[in-house]
Amino acid sequence: MLATFKLLEKAVQTGDGNLYLSLQSQKKLEKTDKQAQEQFRKGFAADPSVRYEALDVRTRMITPQCWAKLRIRIVQLPNIIW
């Protein structure tokens, strides 16, 4: 889970729309306009100052899946309208 948030941070820092969208849930993507997704895939303004900081990570085993909860603080907000 932490690795996913680091990738999300990287996507925002570099303006990589494909990476950002690949990390979103299917449920969220289904709610988002397809044309907006295609525009986003082309990239957005990179913001290297964005930092995500993990404040708390908790996991628990539930058969057959492991559920994880991650609380993050975005130290610098990205310039993304989503």
Task: Tell whether 13 is covered by a domain.
Answer: yes
Structural domain count, the chain? 1
Q: ∠ CA(44), CA(70), CA(38), 5° rounding?
A: 25
* Model confidence pLDDT, tens digit, residues 21-30: 999 888 889 9
Which domain range does residue 55 map to?
2-74
- pLDDT tens digits, 6-55: 898 899 899 999 999 999 888 889 998 999 899 888 888 898 888 887 77
In a domain, 46, yes or no: yes
31 domain-assigned: yes
Burial string for 47-62 (b: 16+ CB within 10 Å, else e) reads eeebebeeeeeeeeee
In a domain, 28, yes or no: yes
Judge whether residue 79 has pLDDT over 60: no
